[in-house]
Chains A and B, each alone.
Chain A
Amino acid sequence: MKRRDFIKKAGIATAGAFVLPYILPSGRLFAATGNRKVNHVVLVLFAGGLRNIETVKQNQSNLMSTMLSDITPFSAQAGIGEVLPASPLPNGKRLQEYGTLMKEFRFKEGPTGHFNGHITSLTGRYSQAEINLRTNPDFPTIFEYYRKHNDDASKSSALNSWWISNALGPYPALNYSSYPGYGAAYGANYIQPSSMISLDGYNALGNPKNFTQQQMVQVEKIRSFCDANFANQYAAESVGVVNSVSERAQLDAFISDLFQDAVQGAGYNNWGFSSYASNDLVNLYYTEKVIQKFKPELTVLNMQDVDICHTDFTQYCNLLRRADWGVSHLWNTIENTSGMAGDTVMIVVPEHGRNFDSNTVIDAYGRPAFDHNSDATSREIFCLIAGPSSVVNQNKVVTQEYGESIDVLPTIADLLGFKDRIPGGLLDGKVLSEAIK
């Protein structure tokens, strides 16, 4: 071997010896330095069980006339004729024009139950959890992935990730998992607004003693003395999500503002509906409040009113129309909120569908009701992704079968730039590249 070759090969070998130990499990030499496509994602779980037959196929005419372009324009039918407020979207645009509509999305595996469907969307894994309600998911949620693997540690505050549910039951448990290394420390802030911002809620929490800042300094002095002398260092955080002292002050002020807003007449009363806004609309309203106050990078909310379809198909159609209107209102709010406008992707997806065959219940208008028992139709859903034209393909419709529920989480992770930091083996889904550029 010539002397020059020897020196060259020895140099390469030496360099390799230094570099190889630093190659990450993902195969990358260095951790990603942040390849976000947007800074905000809002996931709308259009839940409660929606059949494609009534949504994207428009068999009852277009019941989602603010979100979807018409195949069959909405026409009033017996019991389904409420005159809704004008579309919240400008210039008569439909929400699908702001992005990509995947008409044949699938919830492929696991029981078509609400909780199970939620877990699948939030963990990116199919689950059999239907029979094990009210427990934290076994695998990390999107909130934990976001907070733990975020490219900017300064943004990993719980104030930047929210889970807003329209009901209690098992849903409070979905803001973090029991997976080792994740859990409450990376969980989302959670609120169930229609329970909290209510008359009962106001009576219980709406009139707190307010201490001045100076008084709180003294309070903290006494409290920290007590805590320092207490051998068992229990903290309430150990059973819930963690916020810092200053973040808690912001949350406290936020709750106070919400009560004041409710006392003065919550804004959803002025949305123009002839009767009480549905629970879904209330949840959307408070989601908008969260967005306007905190501008979170990751917001997940759900709706479930359409589950009335178990017994009342006509009301299912009516509540679907209201939910459609509300989602467009949410998008309009996002697009008019400084810091969120033009920098947010909104993903709308049901957790599962409903059966093709009806059950035995007939509503007041003679329409049969439908359950969701894991037949093929109950696995057929849609997915709509709206966002800036630089990130999301605009006005695109995917008509063939494409995408499934477990793809939602990787897509969000890709949008917020932390997908490559998620440890291998935890996710099976893919980025929805038909929609995302």
Chain B
Amino acid sequence: MNMQELNKYKFNIGLLLVLMLFAFSCKRETKYVYDVNTETISEAGVLKPNVKSNTEFISIAYTDVMGATISSSNLDQLKVQYISFGDKGVVEDLIIRNYLTKSGNQIPTSIDTDKKVFVTNAYKKIFNRVPNEYEIFYLSDLLSKDPNITAEMFYYSLMTSNEYRQF
């Protein structure tokens, strides 16, 4: 190889290196955007900061069980009973259980085959909200495992819980 060829060879090698430098040294960065789907989440109770008044409790419970509005005379009678006893927990429990024995009450007589639907419907009716996934899972699982729990027992449980006393 003469000197001229050697120089040409060196030039080509250098050019290749420069081209490789341009070819591999910089690369357009791919931008990834991470995000979450829009989901509505809420903690039970956050949206129910107010305690129902005695009158509200009695009348709303009547409507939830009977599917009708309580008459004013019936409401007045129940208000008297409500204040006639000191432990409101005892009276409220008695009021609910008396509603459950009234003819024509709207509480389901049986639990749906689809327990998740039953739980969801009960929550909508009594708590006026959709249960979250955890509530659906736990309660439908409980209902599936224990066939002795009746629809009446389930609704009674919800109506005597703390959440039912608020709105």
Contact = CB atoms under 8 A, between A and B. Distances in A.
Interface stretch (B10-18, B25-33, B108-116, B145-153): B145-153
Contacts of B48: 232
A237 B46 contact: no
A175 interface: yes
A188 B86 CA distance: 8
Contact of B86 (A191, A233, A234): A191
B139 interface: yes
A223 B160 contact: yes
Given A208-B101, A241-B87, A235 B156 contact: no
A190 interface: yes
A136 to B, nearest CB: 12
A231 B84 contact: no
Given A191-B85, A218-B148, A240-B86, A234 B98 contact: no
Interface string A211-251: 10011001111110111011111111101111100001001
B156 A230 contact: no
Interface in B100-120: 100-101
B59 to A, nearest CB: 13
Q: For chain B, give the interface size range.
A: 35 or more
Contact of A234 (B44, B87, B166): B166
Interface in B140-164: 142, 146, 148-150, 152-154, 156-158, 160-163
Contacts, number: 158
A77 interface: no
B90 A215 contact: no
Nearest to A184: B86
Given A208-B101, A232-B48, A219 B87 contact: no
Nearest to A220: B157
Contact of B87 (A195, A225, A240): A240
A223 B85 CA distance: 23
Given A219-B156, A226-B157, A196 B90 contact: no
Given A201-B81, A204-B81, A236-B165, A189 B86 contact: yes
A388 interface: no
A255 interface: yes
A154 interface: no
A210 interface: yes
A172 B83 contact: yes
Interface residues of A, number: 54
A165 to B, nearest CB: 9
B60 interface: no
Given A221-B142, A223-B160, A231-B45, A190 B86 contact: yes
Contacts of B56: none
Contacts of B84: 168, 172, 191-193, 195-196, 201
Contact of A208 (B46, B97, B134): B97
B78 A237 contact: no
A205 B97 CA distance: 8
A252 B94 contact: yes
Contacts of B135: 229
B89 to A, nearest CB: 4
A264 B142 CA distance: 42
Contacts of A203: 77
B87 A242 contact: yes
Contact of B100 (A158, A200, A204, A209): A209
A187 interface: yes
Contacts of A226: 157-158, 161-163
A209 B146 CA distance: 21
B49 A218 contact: no
Given A189-B86, A204-B95, A218-B149, A211 B156 contact: yes
A229 B163 CA distance: 9
A207 interface: yes
Given A204-B95, A219-B153, A239 B77 contact: no
B81 A200 contact: yes
A274 to B, nearest CB: 28
A98 interface: no
A225 B85 contact: no
Contacts of A243: 87, 89-90
Given A200-B77, A201-B84, A204-B98, A223 B153 contact: no
Contacts of B149: 218, 222
Nearest to B131: A229
Interface string A131-168: 00000000000000000000000000010000100001
Contacts of B160: 219, 223
A143 to B, nearest CB: 10
Interface of B: 43-46, 48-49, 51, 74, 77-78, 80-81, 83-95, 97-98, 100-101, 134-135, 138-139, 142, 146, 148-150, 152-154, 156-158, 160-163, 165-166
16 contacts: A175-B86, A195-B84, A201-B80, A205-B81, A222-B153, A223-B158, A225-B139, A225-B142, A227-B163, A229-B135, A231-B45, A232-B166, A234-B162, A236-B88, A239-B51, A248-B89
Interface of A: 158, 163, 168, 172, 175, 187-193, 195-196, 200-201, 203-211, 214-215, 218-223, 225-227, 229-237, 239-243, 248, 251-252, 255
Given A196-B85, A240-B89, 13 more contacts: A158-B87, A168-B80, A187-B86, A190-B85, A200-B80, A209-B98, A222-B154, A225-B142, A226-B163, A234-B165, A236-B87, A236-B92, A251-B87
